[in-house]
Structure 1
Amino acid sequence: MKELPLFKVGNYYGYNQELFTDHWMNIGGCGAVTACDVSIYLDLNQGLSRLYPYDIHHLTAQDYINFSQIMKPFLRPRQNGIDTLELWIQGYSNYLRSVGEHHISMHGLYSDCPLKELESAVKWEIDHNLPVPYLNLKHANPDLAAYVWHWFWLAGYAQYEDTFLVKLVTYGSFRWFSLEELWNSGYKRKGGVILLNVSKKGREA
């Protein structure tokens, strides 16, 4: 079992996009919010100080809202959503270039892969203190209704004999859920995870 340290903005873990007054960010800003959360996490825990433009040791709702507006052009809400891993990678990579951050690389792993491959990838990332952005598209499980066509991030795992649980962070809160149930969406078209890598030079900068 391993959990990444979470940060709070006011009473929320990360920020709750449902509080945005920007209409499109409120209903479709999950990709940008996930990128904001990942950026703050990496600044706090990997020393990548270019990623967050405000006071990293005093996180406020207004600064987060301002940050989300900076991120919005790179991962803008759109009619069909940011519905592929490539769209998110392209958008976040463009943001990283815009702030002069060159120590992060990433690639996608779609969840049409074998479950064990997905488990291993998630475990490796979290064991190396890296957050895991996750895209969930359609899902047959009604318990995941709030997470349909939605980006969030994984901040922990718990491995038992027959179950591999992951800690989902979104809407300013977190919950534990079976990775197998996330993976087994019941639909042919699937989302997946973004696997990050931070170079040693970046961590030492």
Structure 2
Amino acid sequence: MKKELDYFTIEGCYGGNQDWFTNLIMHMGGCAAATACDSCIYFGLQNEKMKPLYPFNIECLTKEDYKAFSQIMKPYLKPRAGGVRKLSWFVEGLERYIQDVNEAKHTDIYIGMEEFCGDHTWQEAAIFIKEQLDQDIPVPYLLLRHQNEAYKDYIWHWFLLTGYEEKDGKMYIKTATYGESDTFELEDFWNTGCEEKGGLIRLTPHYN
């Protein structure tokens, strides 16, 4: 079984990239804001009702507009000491952004959000991820610590899951971050070996 979202590109890159941010603070710690920006762009491309979530021309995505969008998102998910290290902070920030969009543009956009903490088993995470991606919904993922050095680029980092594949009794996940995609085995990726864990966010867009 394999599933990949019809994900967007920006000037040839797979989604957005916080390395484009010229603001130093955002360049270093803007991953939560970038993940929220990418989620908004994705939903805006999926459904006409969601388009106001992206304040620029969604039919012509550019790096410059994406950088400007990140600055709009910054107050809601601003980098801070220790990072946006709680799932609830991401939920609260994105909810406030959507609320402000609704007030400014007289829309009634609603995306339900539910936290799924990293204390769950990897099998439970696999079910969660499949349920979301099978509905064409990306999955925001927060990884805090990990004992495996192979994942050093994902330490203390927010990103999106945009696909999965089940093969030979294992499940592989596709990530979107830094304008690129990677594939990892979920069991090894999820079982961090560390006490401090992140988790996932269930997004439920209401298109009607």
Q: Where on the TM-score scale, by shorter chain, does this alignment land: which range?
A: over 0.9
Within the candidate set 98, 112, 115, 1:105 is matched to: 112
Of 14-23 and 189-198, more deviation after overlay is shown by 14-23
- The structural deviation recorded for 1:132 is 0.3
Give the Cα separation in 2 of the matches to 1:44 and 1:147.
26
Q: Gapped runs of 5+ residues in structure 2?
A: 103-107
Match of 2:33 in 1: 32
Matched residues in 2 for 1:139 and 1:115: separation? 14
Structure-2 separation of matches of 1:159 and 1:131: 17
Matching residue's letter, 1:61 = K
Aligned residue number for residue 174 of structure 1: 181
Q: Which amino acid in 1 is paired with 2:22?
A: T
Measured in 2, the distance between the counterparts of 1:46 and 1:31 equals 23
Partner of 2:89: 87
Separation in 2, partners of 1:42, 1:102: 11
2:91 counterpart letter in structure 1? I
* 1:129-148 superposed Cα distances (whole Å, 9 cap, x missing partner): 10100000011111100110
1:13 aligns with 2:20: no
RMSD across aligned C-alpha pairs, in angstroms? 1.0
CA distance in 2, matches of 1:5, 1:55: 19
Residues in 1 aligned to 2:195 and 2:47: alpha-carbon distance in whole angstroms: 36
String of CA shifts for 1:161-185, please: whole Å, max 9, x gaps.
Answer: 3211110000010011111112110
2:5 touches 2:136 (CA, 8 Å); kept in 1? yes
- Asked if the contact 2:20–2:67 (Cα under 8 Å) also holds between the matched residues in 1, the reply is no
- Provide the secondary structure at the position in 1 that maps to 2:56: coil
Distance in 2 separating the partners of 1:145 and 1:157:
21
Equivalent residue for 2:56?
54
**Tell me, what secondary structure is at the counterpart of 2:163?**
strand
List structure 1 segments (4+ residues) > 3 angstroms apart after TM superposition. none
Gaps of 5+ in 1: none
Matched residues in 2 for 1:115 and 1:175: separation? Answer: 18
Tell me, yes or no, if the aligned pair for 2:83 and 2:156 is still in contact at 8 Å. yes
TM-score by length of 2: 0.94
Instruction: Determine helix, strand or coil for the equivalent of 1:2.
Output: strand
TM-score between the two structures when normalised by the length of structure 1? 0.95
Aligned to 1:160: 167
**Cα offset, 1:65, TM superposition:** 0.7
Paired letter, 1:84: K
Contact 2:20 2:63 in 1 (8 A): no
Q: What displacement does 1:23 show?
A: 0.2
Letter in 2 for 1:12: C
Mapped pair 1:72 → 2:74 = yes
What is the CA deviation profile of residues 73-120 of structure 1, one whole-angstrom value per residue up to 9, with x for unaligned ones? Answer: 000011110001001000011001011144211111012112221111
Which deviates further from its counterpart, 67-76 or 4-13?
4-13
Deviations 1:53-79 (A, max 9, x none): 111100011111110000000000111
Partner of 1:188: 195
Distance 1:107 1:30 in 2: 19
**SS, match of residue 49 in structure 1:** helix
